[in-house]
Amino acid sequence: MKLHSLRGKKLPTYLFLALCFNLVIAPVVYAASSNELSRSQAWAISLLGLGTAGLAAYLFFVMFAPEKF
């Protein structure tokens, strides 16, 4: 797929950025869990946390621009 065909697609871009950002969050979660979680579980939990934060941001957006929904 060429780069210009990805430009109009926001969702894959946001998912890719979230995965990249998770590279920062996941080690923090892993370190804080005192070996109770595996690395993959820490990765999944931090991704879930990011998703929840994104969902909260989306709901804030709905509150401020309800006519778009």
| Contact set with another protein (CB under 8 A) | 11, 36-37, 41, 44-45, 48-49, 51-52, 55-56, 58-60, 62-63, 66-67, 69
| CA atoms in the 13 A half-sphere facing the CB of 43 | 6
Query: How far apart, in whole angstroms, are the C-alpha atoms of residue 42 and residue 48?
Result: 10
The closest alpha carbon to 18, from 44, 37, 36, belongs to 44
